[in-house]
Amino acid sequence: MKIFRLKKDFEKFSLNIDSLDMSEQKIYGIIGPNGCGKTTAMKLMAGIMQPDSGVVDSGGLTARDITMVFRKPYLMHESVLKNLLYPLKIRGITPDMQYIEHLLELSGLQALRDTYALTLSGGEQQKLALMRAVVFSPKLVFIDEGFSNMDIESIAVFEEFILKMQAKSKLTWVITSHQLSTIRRLCEHVIFMHAGEVKAQGNTEEILSSPQLPELKQYLQFV
């Protein structure tokens, strides 16, 4: 994915990304303080929001190959299972129920499969949204603070799941999180954003272990 002179203006905020190059089949992390533009950048990259100017080249991927999970995910007024099967249904794919059961078991939602999805707790909703996002094997997955409501054990399970899936299917992931442990464990590359701009990017360990920018130093001090 290549981004070139991306610009999006809001009343009180402006996003400007001069250039960003992300290789396929890698896991990227985007970090930065609240309101720095992480979610906006992701929405623009995922094609959910249109930029005022600039180019997002997703390397031939179509909307059907890209998905995004929000911190507060949208769940349909349906059961857990129907939510999980929705992306397959709209693609006319017959679900592999063994795999579906595996996903439900992994996310601890097996007993809740027939439960009305909107009655799930915040963490359970995030687990369901993450499973639903990967059930149709997309090629590019954006996760915007998708673990923020989960307990520590569940975060570890999902991190493991992403790493296993990555080893097997080689997707491209872009993840935002304020939990640096998650970023360190999952992401090979990290992008630091501040005030609507990309201020630093590179190898995760290099960026996080020896920050050069004062803004990054300050951010890492409080995370």
- How far apart are the two ends of the chain, measured CA to CA in Å? 28
Radius of gyration of the chain (CA): 17
Q: Which is nearer to another protein, 132 or 194 (CB)?
A: 132
Q: Which is nearer to another protein, 116 or 184 (CB)?
A: 116
Helix ranges restricted to H, 94-151: 97-106, 122-134
Q: Which is nearer to another protein, 47 or 211 (CB)?
A: 47
Least separation in angstroms between residue 118's CB and another protein is 4
Return the residue of 17, 31, 46, 84 that touches another protein, per CB under 8 A.
46
Site for another protein in 98-117 (CB under 8 A): 116
Least separation in angstroms between residue 77's CB and another protein is 6
**115, 138 Cβ separation under 8 angstroms:** no
- The 125-164 contact track toward another protein, x by CB under 8 A, reads -------xx--x-x--------------------------
**30, 42 Cβ separation under 8 angstroms:** yes
Least separation in angstroms between residue 40's CB and another protein is 13
Return the residue of 23, 25, 119, 218 that touches another protein, per CB under 8 A.
119
**48, 174 Cβ separation under 8 angstroms:** no
Q: Number of C-alpha atoms within 13 angstroms, CB side, residue 215? A: 14
Least separation in angstroms between residue 25's CB and another protein is 20
Contacts of 154 by beta carbon, 8 Å cutoff, 6+ apart:
107, 108, 123, 127, 147
The yes or no reply on residue 121 touching another protein (CB under 8 A) is: yes
**189, 198 Cβ separation under 8 angstroms:** no
Site for another protein in 57-96 (CB under 8 A): 62-70, 73-74, 76-77, 86-87, 90-91
Q: Which is nearer to another protein, 119 or 212 (CB)?
A: 119
Give the C-alpha separation, 56 to 2, whole Å.
6
Least separation in angstroms between residue 203's CB and another protein is 29
Give the C-alpha separation, 100 to 64, whole Å.
20
**5, 18 Cβ separation under 8 angstroms:** yes
Residues at the site binding another protein, with contacts judged by CB under 8 A:
43, 46-48, 62-70, 73-74, 76-77, 86-87, 90-91, 116, 118-122, 132-133, 136, 138
